[in-house]
């Protein structure tokens, strides 16, 4: 069994169950993924399967040479994923979304939306300074960022203003609600990070959904 998959986020929708309950879902266009390379212990020191996904807009020589052995179309994204047995796969093989089953638990990895430069109140939820007693320019300031002589510097990791968003985020234990192999769609319960059409990595954990989960 392959442990990872690639796709892109389409958007959110809802699914009505047999009991009439509404379940919010995120629609993911998962695959088809192409096996572009197989890593073996004898040659690479470890075992893994390299998957390709998406269409290439601009072709270059290094990318073209990498795909010569597979005899398949060029892929925009390449990611290595674990597999229980790499001997089950061949270079150039297409893998569809039918490997997933409803009720299966997966981890979804994506990049959050970029918000640009943001201050400490928006980025970290700081309270801000006093609005009175002459502090007219301290309302949205972070306040003190460290001591004086000791340690005499700003400690690493201090929460300050800066680039907000555009970070790798993993949401664990999401339930697969529905699988549509004909349209390569995967409906996952709940929300996932990122904007529509953003690259999504799916990591299979192999646990079935529990009742009420």
- Which pair of structure tokens corresponds to residue 89? 């796969």
In this structure, the answer to whether residues 69 and 119 fall within a common structural domain is no
Least confident of 83-87, 160-164, 166-170: 83-87
pLDDT given for residue 206 in this prediction: 63
How many whole angstroms separate alpha carbon 90 and alpha carbon 139? 61
In this structure, the answer to whether residues 45 and 129 fall within a common structural domain is no
In this structure, the answer to whether residues 120 and 196 fall within a common structural domain is no
How many whole angstroms separate alpha carbon 69 and alpha carbon 37? 9
In this structure, the answer to whether residues 95 and 25 fall within a common structural domain is yes
* More confident position, 124 or 44: 124
Alpha carbon of residue 202 to chain centroid? 7
Residue 191 lies in a domain: yes
Other Cβ atoms closer than 10 A to 152: 8
pLDDT given for residue 71 in this prediction: 63
Which SS3 state, helix, strand or coil, does residue 62 take?
A: helix
Residue 213 lies in a domain: no
How far from 202 is each of 92, 110, 115, 194, CA to CA, in Å? Answer: 20, 9, 24, 13
Q: In residues, how long is the chain?
A: 213
pLDDT tens for each residue of 79-133: 888 888 887 888 888 888 888 888 889 999 999 999 999 999 999 999 988 888 8
| Residue-averaged pLDDT of the chain | 86
Query: How confident is residue 74, by pLDDT bands cut at 50, 70 and 90?
Result: confident
Other Cβ atoms closer than 10 A to 65: 9
* More confident position, 66 or 52: 52
pTM: 0.78
How many whole angstroms separate alpha carbon 189 and alpha carbon 13? 10
In this structure, the answer to whether residues 93 and 185 fall within a common structural domain is yes
């Amino acid at each position: 069994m392959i442990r990872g998959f690639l796709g892109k986020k389409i958007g959110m929708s809802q699914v009505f169950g047999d009991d009439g309950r509404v379940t919010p879902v995120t629609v993911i266009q998962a695959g088809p993924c192409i096996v572009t390379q197989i890593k073996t212990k004898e040659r690479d020191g470890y075992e893994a399967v390299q998957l390709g996904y998406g269409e290439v807009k601009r072709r270059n020589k290094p990318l073209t040479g990498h795909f010569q052995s597979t005899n398949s179309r060029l892929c925009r994204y390449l990611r290595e994923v674990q597999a229980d047995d790499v001997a089950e796969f061949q270079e150039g093989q297409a893998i569809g979304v039918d490997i997933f089953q409803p009720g299966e638990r997966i981890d979804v990895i994506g990049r959050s939306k970029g918000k640009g430069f943001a201050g400490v109140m928006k980025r970290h939820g700081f309270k801000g300074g006093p609005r009175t007693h002459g502090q007219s320019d301290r309302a949205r300031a972070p306040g003190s960022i460290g001591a004086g002589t000791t340690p005499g510097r700003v400690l690493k990791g201090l929460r300050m203003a800066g680039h907000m968003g555009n970070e790798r985020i993993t949401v664990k234990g999401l339930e697969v609600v529905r699988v549509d192999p004909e349209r390569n769609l995967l409906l996952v319960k709940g929300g996932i990070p990122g904007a529509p059409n953003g690259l999504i990595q799916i990591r299979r954990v192999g646990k079935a959904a529990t009742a009420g989960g």
